[in-house]
């Protein structure tokens, strides 16, 4: 065993623990619903991305089981060899309808989508303007593309306009892209897409929206781009199938040419085995459900508004969220972790999120209410928040 590696690992782990940055991972026994079992304790779960409660939906479970019976448990190969199944094609047709685009292509994860599409389209002769609070998978996808990365201040349209002008007028780049989360996952604010599209038109920017937290949540379920009616204006829409959709995977939606090109150029499509048939069918059912009814979406927003109002009234700093994502911003990392630990002891599972997921000094407990929570669960959570908040002097 390498001595250098062992020293590197132990000193870094110790350093993280000393600074309150080491994340203890809990094991959930059984299903990931609004109440979960951790170490035999039933906890109100405010930590999942299971926005609509679909992760445990009976219809989806049946669709997955039936498809396992008819198609088996694995896709067998990468898509280009013989891993493209009839259920993949069916799903992609549903996704294109859902997003209002010509076509869509599914990937094994949302993370993979950003590896696939950013690197597939951008190259070292290009530049990518990227919001400074973009998700890690966007950052990694940008790095992988070898394009010049230009950070843009968070949702700052003057900064975007200035940097778009500089990049395009420099004549140094063949293509320039602006990439942004549709809904910012740690704060719950929404990208200013109408202004972004206007700036993109002025400077011929390629627009790319990662709607991992917008799909199922914004636009009556169809996402942030549809919320603003910009399906024909945004070039590349990415979404996950692991959050509101409740299963796993991701997709890119756009023109037929974009999708055709990614199928020959995107490395996770070419070199990683495709989504399992059971998951694919369950996803298809979930998307069809969202297209048929806004009931779950409406319940999610009702619960989100209720929790937000309750936490704000108690005196918590919930930032500028415009969606059900409700951070309680504590600041100091160690206090944030202590706060989350006490919540858990009292019966609420709301994980602390600290650097490097969010900037240093902005540690938070992020609450993710879902359509599956009852008012009683949310009231109980609020009582616990009040008790722990006062105990740790986070609220007065």
Ligand X SMILES: Cc1ncc(COP(=O)(O)O)c(C=O)c1O
Crossing angle of the two packed helices 333-346 and 375-391, in degrees rounded to 10 = 130
Task: Tell me how crowded residue 338 is: count the other CB atoms within 10 A of its CB.
Answer: 18
In angstroms, what is the minimal distance from the CB of 135 to ligand X? 3
CA 157 to chain centre: 23
124 noted as active-site residue: no
Question: Which of 356, 290, 284, 386 is closest to 135 using CA atoms?
Answer: 356
* 370 part of the interface to ligand X, by CB under 6 A: no
> What's the CA gap between 13 and 352, in Å, rounded?
18
Min dist. Cβ of residue 89 to ligand X (A): 21
Task: Give the number of other CB atoms < 10 A from CB of residue 324.
Answer: 24
- Is position 189 an interface residue for ligand X (rule: CB under 6 A)? no
Q: What is the 3-state secondary structure (H, E, C) of 162-200?
A: HHHHHHHHCCCCCCEEEEEECECCCCCCECCHHHHHHHH
Q: Minimum distance from CB of 216 to ligand X (Å)?
A: 12
Does the annotation count 213 as an active-site position?
yes
How many residues bind ligand X (CB under 6 A)? The answer is 13
Residues 6+ apart with CB under 8 A from 199: 157, 160, 161, 164, 178, 205
Nearer to ligand X, 249 or 389 (CB): 249
Clarify whether 185 is annotated catalytic.
yes
Catalytic residue chosen out of the listed positions 163, 226, 243, 297: 243
Q: Is 276 in the site for ligand X (CB under 6 A)?
A: no
Q: Could you tell me the smallest distance in angstroms from the CB atom of residue 239 to ligand X?
A: 9
The full DSSP string for 250-278 is EEEEE-HHHHHHHHHH-HHHHHSBPPPHH
Residue with CB nearest ligand X?
110
Q: Is residue 109 close enough to count as binding ligand X by CB under 6 A?
A: yes
Whose Cβ is closer to ligand X: residue 186's or residue 377's? Answer: 186
Q: Which one of the spans 77-85, 107-115, 139-147, 356-364 is the region binding ligand X (CB under 6 A)?
A: 107-115
Q: Give the span between the Cα atoms of 337 and 81, in whole angstroms.
A: 47
Encoded one letter per residue, x for contact with ligand X by CB under 6 A and - for no contact, window 73-102 reads ------------------------------
Q: Does 323 bind ligand X (CB under 6 A)?
A: no
The one among 71, 88, 99, 135 contacting ligand X by CB under 6 A: 135
**Catalytic one among 71, 213, 226, 281?**
213
Q: How far apart are CA 298 and CA 303, in angstroms?
A: 9
CB of 152 to ligand X, least distance (A): 16
CA–CA separation, 37 vs 31, rounded Å?
8
Task: Give which of 134, 115, 230, 144 is closest to 180, Cα–Cα.
Answer: 134
Kindly compute the dihedral angle of the four CA atoms of residues 270, 54, 326, 355, in this order, to the nearest 10 degrees: -40
Q: What torsion, rounded to 10 degrees, do the Cα atoms 209, 213, 217, 223 define?
A: 10
By C-beta, is 209 or 289 nearer to ligand X? 209
What string marks each residue from 168 to 187 as x (binds ligand X by CB under 6 A) or -?
A: -------------x---x--
Question: Which residues, in sequence order, are CB contacts of 39 under 8 Å at separation 6+?
Answer: 26, 27
**Binders in 196-255 for ligand X, by CB under 6 A:** 210, 212-213, 240, 242, 250
Would you count residue 303 as binding ligand X (CB under 6 A)?
A: no
Q: Choose between 111 and 316: whose C-beta lies nearer to ligand X.
A: 111
Active site residues: 185, 213, 243
By the criterion CB under 6 A, which residues form the site for ligand X? 109-111, 135, 137, 181, 185, 210, 212-213, 240, 242, 250
């Amino acid at each position: 065993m390498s001595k250098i590696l062992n020293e590197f690992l132990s000193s870094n782990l110790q350093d993280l623990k000393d600074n309150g940055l080491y994340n203890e991972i809990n094991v959930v026994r059984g299903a990931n619903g609004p109440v979960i079992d951790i170490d035999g304790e039933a906890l109100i779960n405010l930590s999942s991305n299971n926005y609509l409660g679909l992760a445990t939906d009976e219809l989806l479970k049946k669709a997955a089981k039936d498809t396992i019976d008819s198609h088996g448990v694995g896709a067998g190969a990468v898509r280009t060899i013989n891993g493209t199944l009839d259920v993949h094609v069916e799903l992609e047709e549903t996704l294109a309808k859902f997003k209002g685009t010509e076509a869509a292509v599914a990937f094994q994860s949302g993370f993979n989508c950003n590896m696939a599409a950013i690197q597939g389209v951008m190259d070292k002769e290009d530049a990518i303007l990227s919001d400074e609070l973009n998700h890690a998978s966007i950052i990694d996808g940008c790095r992988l593309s070898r394009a010049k990365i230009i950070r843009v201040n968070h949702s700052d349209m003057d900064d975007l306009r200035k940097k778009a002008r500089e990049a395009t007028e420099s004549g140094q780049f063949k293509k320039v892209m602006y990439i942004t989360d549709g809904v910012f996952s740690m704060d719950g604010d929404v990208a200013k897409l109408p202004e972004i599209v206007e700036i993109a038109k002025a400077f011929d920017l390629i627009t790319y929206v990662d709607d991992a937290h917008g799909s199922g949540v914004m636009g009556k379920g169809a996402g942030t781009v549809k919320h603003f009616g910009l399906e024909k204006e945004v070039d590349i829409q990415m979404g996950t199938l692991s959050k509101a959709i409740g299963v796993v995977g991701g997709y890119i939606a756009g023109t037929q040419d974009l999708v055709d090109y990614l199928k020959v150029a995107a490395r996770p499509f070419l070199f990683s085995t495709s989504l399992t048939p059971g998951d694919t069918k369950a996803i298809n059912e979930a998307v069809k459900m969202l297209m048929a009814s806004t009931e779950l979406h409406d319940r999610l927003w009702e619960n989100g508004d209720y929790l937000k109002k309750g936490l704000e009234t108690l005196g918590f700093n919930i930032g500028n969220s415009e969606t059900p994502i409700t951070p309680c911003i504590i600041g100091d990392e160690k206090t944030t972790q202590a706060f989350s630990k006490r919540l858990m002891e009292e019966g609420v599972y709301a994980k602390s999120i600290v650097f490097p997921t969010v900037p240093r000094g902005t540690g938070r407990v992020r609450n993710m209410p879902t359509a599956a929570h009852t008012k009683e669960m949310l009231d109980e959570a609020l009582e616990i928040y009040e008790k722990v908040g006062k105990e740790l002097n986070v609220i007065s």
